[in-house]
């Protein structure tokens, strides 16, 4: 791969999903000797939500950490923007890469844009068309600032076209395909079924639940209704629900005095990536409000129930791997009943597992 005297690429990350999804790109940079450095904003700042992933994925430690920590969207984005601007002025990369729709992404894109540094947006063109979601604002603005738009599917390319973005849009697939392919085999070797035995659960005999979106966990009525739905599922299917609880969700469960609704739910601390991957692969059904988990469930052939009323991953709905349940308890139960009987024969729509190499060829001009 020719680098054409390319100056360094700054790869800006801040959360667990960003670490996982940029890992294939980072490894390809190393393989093809593309000069780069990693800036970690520290948007996820606990050990299990952050540092352990670099170790498990065999990635180089970030050269720069700016430790923005928690706060409101404005506070977090503002701190991130201010500190990233100083770093980019000092390091003077030729281009930056950001992935997804977090506050790290929007801050990185704004900082680079104001300094006339070219931006590559991995996972461009995703749209839920729900502007009440902070992530939707982030992804729209990042796309309109970017010079290279790496759309995972033709659906996301069409979304960009509707907004007048047609230049330098590349359908590359999604890096999560290669990340899952590589890491699934590593997880089997390193973890096996240890996490299942530790939790006293059996393959395909449990539900996996994740919950972290602010529209769900910051609203007492919605959060209560979701847990009522989860309890109905336990009652009907007589299977355990494993719930690796996000710190934000735990805080609000206590704040809203909903702890009694978790008595029958097997709530655990967040686990490492490989442990979580094993839990994903072996679940009977996944219930989540995560965007990335909708993709992963589709690729891993595990039925998914999305605890939202919209999704920026409609490809999973078209494939038949996912269903939008919303947040009401009866709708959640009905959706699980429907998906529990589905045949796992869908085709995943996220590419051939060569996304990171395609991205690097484009951004380096090879």
Residues designated catalytic: 212
DSSP characters over 132-187? TSHHHHHHHHHHHH-SEEEESSHHHHHHHHHTT--TTEEE---THHHHHHHHHHHH
Residues 6 or more apart in contact with residue 339 via CB below 8 angstroms:
285, 303, 304, 305, 323
| Rounded-to-integer distance, Cα 336 and Cα 230, Å | 10
In sequence order, what are the residues at sequence separation of 6 or more whose Cβ sits closer than 8 angstroms to the Cβ of residue 52? 272, 273
Contact predicate 187/278, CB 8 Å: yes
CB 321, CB 346: distance < 8 Å: yes
DSSP 49: T
Radius of gyration of the CA atoms of the chain, in A? 20
Q: Would you list the DSSP string of 254-299? A: HHTT-GGGGTTSEEE----HHHHHHHHHT-SEEEE--HHHHHHHHH
Transcribe 198-246 into DSSP letters.
HHT--TTSSEEE----HHHHT-HHHHHHHHHHHHHHHHHH---EEEE--
14 φ/ψ angles, rounded to the nearest 5 degrees: -155, -15
Is residue 96 classed exposed, middle or buried when 0-12, 13-18 and 19+ CB atoms within 10 A define those classes?
buried
């Amino acid at each position: 791969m020719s680098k054409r005297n390319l100056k360094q690429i700054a790869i800006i990350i801040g959360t667990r999903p960003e670490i996982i999804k940029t890992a294939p790109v980072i490894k390809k940079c190393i393989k093809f000797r593309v000069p780069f450095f990693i800036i970690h904003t520290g948007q996820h700042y606990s050990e299990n939500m952050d540092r352990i992933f670099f170790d498990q994925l065999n990635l180089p430690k970030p050269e720069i950490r700016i430790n923005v920590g928690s706060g409101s969207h404005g506070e977090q984005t503002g701190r991130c923007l201010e500190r990233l601007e100083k770093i980019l002025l000092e390091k003077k990369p030729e281009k930056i890469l950001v992935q997804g729709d977090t506050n790290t992404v929007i801050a990185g894109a704004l900082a680079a844009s104001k300094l006339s540094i070219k931006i590559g947006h991995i996972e461009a063109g995703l749209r839920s068309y729900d502007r009440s979601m902070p992530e939707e604002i982030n992804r729209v603005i990042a796309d309109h600032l970017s010079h290279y738009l790496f759309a995972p599917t033709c659906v996301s390319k069409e979304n960009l076209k509707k907004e007048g973005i047609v230049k330098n849009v590349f359908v590359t697939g999604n890096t999560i395909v290669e990340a899952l392919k590589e890491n699934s085999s590593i997880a089997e070797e390193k973890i096996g079924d240890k996490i299942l035995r530790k939790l006293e659960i059996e393959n395909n005999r449990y539900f996996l639940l994740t919950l972290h979106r602010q529209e769900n966990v910051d609203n007492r009525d919605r959060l209560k209704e979701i847990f009522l739905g989860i309890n109905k599922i336990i009652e009907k299917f007589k299977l355990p629900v494993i719930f690796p609880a996000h710190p934000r969700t735990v805080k609000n469960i206590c704040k809203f005095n909903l702890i009694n609704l978790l008595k029958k739910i097997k709530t655990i601390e967040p686990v490492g990536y490989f442990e979580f991957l094993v839990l994903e692969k072996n679940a009977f059904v996944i219930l989540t409000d995560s965007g990335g988990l909708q993709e992963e469930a589709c690729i891993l052939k595990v039925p998914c129930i999305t605890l939202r009323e919209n999704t920026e991953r409609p490809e999973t709905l078209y494939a038949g791997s996912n269903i939008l349940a919303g947040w009401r308890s009866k709708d959640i139960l009905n959706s699980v009943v429907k998906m529990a009987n589905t045949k796992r024969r869908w085709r995943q729509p996220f590419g051939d597992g060569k996304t990171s190499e395609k991205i690097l060829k484009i951004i380096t001009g090879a």
